[in-house]
Amino acid sequence: MSTMKLSIGPIQYFWERERVLDFYQQAADSAAEIVYLGEVICSKRRLVKFEDWLAIGNELKQSGKDVILSSLTLLEAASEMSSLKKLCRNESFIVEANDISAVQLLSAAGKDFVTGPSFNIYNGRSLQLLARKGLKRWVLPVELGLETLKDLQGLRPEGVETEVFALGRLPLAYSARCYTARSHNLPKDDCQFKCIEYPDGRMLETQEDQEFLVLNGIQTQSALTHQVLDQLPELKALGVDVLRISPQHSHTMQIIEIFDAARKGAELEPLGKELLGMLPLGACNGYLVEQAGMDYGSEVSHDTQQTA
Amino acid sequence: MELVCPAGNLPSLKAAVDNGADAVYVGFKDDTNARHFAGLNFTERTFEKAVRYAQDKGRKVFVAINTFPQPNGFQRWKAAVDQAAGYGVNALIMADIGVLDYARERWPDLRLHLSVQASVTSAEGIRFYHENFGIRRVVLPRVLSVSQVAHVITESPVPVEVFGFGSLCVMVEGRCLLSSYATGRSPNTYGACSPASHVRWEETGDGTNTRLNGVLIDHYGEGEKAGYPTLCKGRFQVGDNTFYALEEPTSLNTLSILPELRKIGVSAIKVEGRQRSPAYVGQVTGVMRAAIDQCMKDPHGYHPKDQWMKKLATVSEGSQTTLGAYHRPWQ
């Protein structure tokens, strides 16, 4: 069985331009084989423009990386559709479709594509139809677990790779409303780019101070970082091709080193301990083991009255 | 504009039909639809009666089969499609690519509508479902402004249905996992958001706590009316403020913009609420019927009547309503 590849997912947050450029310089020297580039959350974030992404992509390609351009997840304005069309017309890189619009544009143009973690593929028939349209790799929706993954791997068409969201705050929801702006009492049309102040998202706590969710512009994420290090042997056994590391503001390159060591067979327990120290808050992995997404390991949340 | 109303049981369906719904949408008693609640929805026997009652009066019946099956449950979704088709319903409302593919192959003449759960916000996206499955209508998510809806309608290959009244999802439907993050069950996988099985109401010394799988969604002081802990409608802390960080408990109400919706070419108006009572369905259907008739007869002179607004306010979440994303400043 071949070694699983590592990918760096698109940056979910709004970072300073210099930080982004610096991040991809480091990525070029990392153990990750695949790098996803582009703005997937908010079309108003334009410190790094389309041409810049192409330039970054070309440099990464020269460093031997497999580069994919990721599309916006929630399309609303006509201008966003124009940008998507431009992205899908590019001749240099494959596109990760984060919305059905991108799938339509790419398949109509006869181009291969990848689908991202917020694109709904829940069963074999969906996978097979999309494969006929040009799907070459798909990311398992983050709320699905190992049991379903096992079934889907059995139904997976020839020539389609499976990627699993392996580390990062979970992308949970998207809205017309910008929650970061709202948390500053600002309307979306005058957001003042407040999200740049929160390079790992802005914390939302319950009234009991439980750190629960993270606001990232129009996106809502988990406060805890989903991480699948403990399940690496199972994922490998199920024939998963790619593990995705979703960028966080600090330690992403060290995290890639940890996953690199783990996939090559290093002992997981010490790596897991090291990893925990690098996460902004704490870890969860419930989705993968068919529990609530916020659960972790054996610490299953209580209060569940199982009904038929 | 066609008026499409919800029914979670036979009395609600009758209330919808008797108060002027052009079409009623229903679901079966399992996780194949996005209102999978205990005590709700139709068995085969009540379903047959429902179809007959509506169709005898010249109204349409749509069946929502709009969740996302995993491989081990796929058979249940096929059975739901076959059952609905077998009773001659007017359309299926669907979201999953695999289930759409099955329905199209097995029942090529059956009318298919794209559910809001398919999360499609652009004409390009609609084209995918039109070209591959021949969908004949699309229901748009509640994330677009009126001008954005207008733009989609101009380019869409099929007619467009939008939400006109009811509980408001503030997240784009079909891609919201907040509920499964907290409970393991989401609209996509289980057909319910913030499921009742995980809800706990807790009296405290100074009021009531509402919890979802242990997570405190809201705290209500003495005398404050406690609401159902829908995850996105609780009060949370961000920075130094405790507030409705995502959305207030409020309902969507489009009475004030019906002439605009007509003008931009909306084909159907949908009322949310299969989980609500027959009284709710009857009341909302009656008001929406009167409003749409008035709007079609005299769009320029149309003005929402006070009594309509009052009636709808009484059945709204938190007794308040909003235009939601249709109105740009809300965003």
Query: What pLDDT, in 10s, does the model give residues A101-126?
Result: 999 999 999 999 999 999 999 999 99
**Measured between alpha carbons, how far is B257 from B146 in angstroms, rounded to an integer?**
9
Q: How far is CA B138 from CA A37, B89, B114, in A?
A: 31, 17, 5
In a domain, A69, yes or no: yes
Residue B182 to residue A292, Cβ atoms within 8 A: yes
Q: Find out whether A175 and B171 touch, Cβ atoms under 8 Å.
A: yes
Answer yes or no: do B194 and B56 share one domain: no
Using 50, 70 and 90 to split pLDDT, how confident is the model at B252?
A: very high
Answer yes or no: do B75 and B197 share one domain: no
Which of B170, B213, B216 shows the shortest C-beta gap to A207? B216
Which of A125, A151, A303 shows the shortest C-beta gap to B102? A125
In a domain, A178, yes or no: no
Is the pLDDT at B123 greater than 50? The verdict is yes
Tell me what pLDDT residue A297 has: 79
Q: Find out whether B322 and B168 touch, Cβ atoms under 8 Å.
A: yes
Q: What is the mean pLDDT of residues A153-163?
A: 97
Answer yes or no: do B212 and B72 share one domain: no
Answer yes or no: do B266 and B300 share one domain: yes
Q: B195 lies in which domain range?
A: 178-243
Total domains in chain B come to 2
Total domains in chain A come to 1
Using 50, 70 and 90 to split pLDDT, how confident is the model at A294?
A: very high
Answer yes or no: do B91 and B134 share one domain: yes
In a domain, A255, yes or no: yes
Tell me what pLDDT residue A143 has: 98
Tell me what pLDDT residue B319 has: 77
Is the pLDDT at A92 greater than 60? The verdict is yes
In a domain, A83, yes or no: yes
Is the pLDDT at B116 greater than 70? The verdict is yes
* Chain A residue closest in CA terms to B102: A125
Choose among B281, B287, B331, B292: nearest CA to B311: B287
Tell me what pLDDT residue A2 has: 78
Q: ipTM, 2 decimals?
A: 0.96
Q: Find out whether B5 and B16 touch, Cβ atoms under 8 Å.
A: yes
3-state secondary structure of B42: strand
Tell me what pLDDT residue A308 has: 33
Answer yes or no: do B141 and B22 share one domain: yes
Using 50, 70 and 90 to split pLDDT, how confident is the model at A1?
A: low
Q: What is the CATH number of the domain that holds A111?
A: 3.20.20.70
Q: pLDDT per residue over A231-249, tens digit each?
A: 999 999 999 999 999 999 9
Choose the mutation target among B65, B68, B97 for the interface with A, i.e. most A CBs under 10 Å: B97
In a domain, B193, yes or no: yes
Q: Find out whether A287 and A226 touch, Cβ atoms under 8 Å.
A: yes
Is the pLDDT at A305 greater than 50? The verdict is no
Q: What is the mean pLDDT of residues A273-296?
A: 96
Instruction: For the beta carbon of residue B56, count every other beta carbon within 10 angstroms.
Output: 9
Q: What is the mean pLDDT of residues A196-205?
A: 98
Answer yes or no: do B152 and B297 share one domain: yes
Instruction: For the beta carbon of residue B206, count every other beta carbon within 10 angstroms.
Output: 10
Q: Find out whether B2 and B160 touch, Cβ atoms under 8 Å.
A: no
Q: What is the mean pLDDT of residues A132-155?
A: 98
In a domain, B54, yes or no: yes
Question: Which domain-ending residue is among B191, B221, B243?
Answer: B243
Q: What is the mean pLDDT of residues A141-148?
A: 98
Q: Find out whether B292 and B1 touch, Cβ atoms under 8 Å.
A: yes
In a domain, A16, yes or no: yes
Question: Which domain-ending residue is among B194, B219, B243?
Answer: B243
Give the DSSP letter string of A61-126.
HHTT-EEEEEPPSS--SHHHHHHHHHHHH-SSSEEEESSHHHHHHHHHTT--EEE-TTS---SHHH
Among residues 67-96 of chain A, which lie with CB inside 8 Å of chain B?
Answer: 73-78, 81, 84
Beta strands A161-174 and A135-139 are parallel
In a domain, A214, yes or no: no
Residue that the structure tokens 């995705």 belong to: A244
Is the pLDDT at A307 greater than 60? The verdict is no
Q: Find out whether A160 and A135 touch, Cβ atoms under 8 Å.
A: yes
Beta strands B91-94 and B60-65 are parallel
In a domain, A158, yes or no: yes
Answer yes or no: do B192 and B211 share one domain: yes
Average pLDDT along chain B: 96
**Chain B residues near residue A213 by CB distance under 8 angstroms:** 178, 236
Tell me what pLDDT residue B71 has: 98
Q: What is the CATH number of the domain that holds B17?
A: 3.20.20.70
Answer yes or no: do B254 and B270 share one domain: yes
- Residue A26, phi then psi, degrees to nearest 5: -70, -40
- Residue A249, phi then psi, degrees to nearest 5: -65, -35
Give the DSSP letter string of B78-141.
HHHHHHHHHTT-SEEEE--HHHHHHHHHH-TTS-EEE-GGG---SHHHHHHHHHHH---EEEPP
Choose among A173, A117, A106, A162: nearest CA to A137: A162
Answer yes or no: do B41 and B133 share one domain: yes
Which of A73, A172, A305 shows the shortest C-beta gap to B177? A172
Is the pLDDT at B166 greater than 70? The verdict is yes
DSSP A299: B
In a domain, A185, yes or no: no
Q: What is the mean pLDDT of residues B164-183?
A: 96
Question: Which domain-ending residue is among B243, B264, B279?
Answer: B243
Q: A243 lies in which domain range?
A: 5-169+225-280
Q: Find out whether B139 and B115 touch, Cβ atoms under 8 Å.
A: yes
Q: What's the count of helices (H) and strands (E) in chain B, helices before strands?
A: 11, 15
Give the DSSP letter string of A193-253.
TGGGG-TT-EEEE-TT--EEEEEETTEEEEEEEEE-GGGHHHHHHTT--EEEEPP-SSSHH
DSSP A286: G
A267 near B CB under 8 A = no
DSSP A32: -
A190 near B CB under 8 A = no
Answer yes or no: do B134 and B17 share one domain: yes
Answer yes or no: do B48 and B145 share one domain: yes
In a domain, B173, yes or no: no
Using 50, 70 and 90 to split pLDDT, how confident is the model at A299?
A: very low
Tell me what pLDDT residue A298 has: 53
